[in-house]
Amino acid sequence: MIKKIFLTIPFFFFILVSCSSGAKKLDPLSEMLKDSGGLSQFELIKAADKIGKDIIVHFKKNPNPNGVALAILQTKNDTSEQLATDVFEETLVKTLLIGKITTLRTDKRSEQLKEIKLGLQLGTGLSSANLKSPNYFIKTVISEEMFSSSGDKIVGQTLNTELINVESLSVDFSNKETYRKQAASNKGLGW
């Protein structure tokens, strides 16, 4: 009886150790699909890089004599998924900076003006003369469509990006990147 207990203890220990799973590090730049069919971080980075490069090409073909200063408006997520839109925006800024296109953070304008006002009061040399205004806005909306094809539920998500001239409000450039995939499970689809 004691011999059986001593033989089964190592067996249970082996089962316990082999069944436990630990976390493992994954490459954030490797392509992974979400079970729900939503956009992955990899796809957002890939789309931002492509859109940024397309904008650079646009300005090389259509140079602005006054220079180019872009303000990226907050990306609007009109999908049922929680998407890392900040990753999309950060990658877009990085790509544009590589292409020597100035990007401005207009969402920080009130903080900037407070510091300039304080600098003027303290005589630190900060001046509003260096304030820059964008001559273009980049507006991105991520939309979603869900449909069935041959009984399979398909999720399509589209990043629609527009380059809007601040003076004329004309859309000088538009780009659409669409990703469609079959969801691995129907749990995240909600229909």
pLDDT tens digits for range 136-168: 999 999 999 988 888 888 888 999 999 999 999
Output the pTM of the full model: 0.73
Q: Using pLDDT thresholds of 50, 70 and 90, give the confidence band for residue 181.
A: confident
| Cα distances (Å, whole numbers) of residue 20 to 8, 12, 13, 17, 41 | 18, 12, 11, 5, 28
Query: Cβ distance 74 to 107 under 8 Å?
Result: yes
pLDDT confidence of residue 105: 86
Highest mean pLDDT range out of 17-26, 34-43, 45-54? 45-54
- In angstroms, what CA-CA distances link 1 with 7, 14, 157? 10, 20, 63
Q: What average pLDDT does range 83-89 have in this prediction? A: 94
Range from 39-48, 69-78, 93-102, 180-189 carrying the lowest mean pLDDT:
180-189
Which pair of structure tokens corresponds to residue 24?
């493992």
Is residue 174 classed as helix, strand or coil in its secondary structure? strand
Q: Which two three-digit tokens encode residue 96?
A: 């544009």
Identify any residues that bridge with 145 across adjacent strands, giving them in sequence order: 156
Pairwise pLDDT comparison (109 vs 34), residue with the higher score: 109
In 3D, which of 39, 80, 36, 60 has the Cα closest to residue 184? 36
Going along the chain from its start, the domains and CATH numbers come out as 35-142+157-178 (3.40.50)
What pLDDT was estimated at residue 188?
46
* Contact partners, residue 107, CB within 8 Å, separation at least 6: 74
Is 49 exposed, middle or buried, given 0-12, 13-18 or 19+ CB atoms closer than 10 A?
Answer: middle
Distances from the Cα of 141 to the Cαs of 84, 174, 178, in angstroms?
13, 12, 12
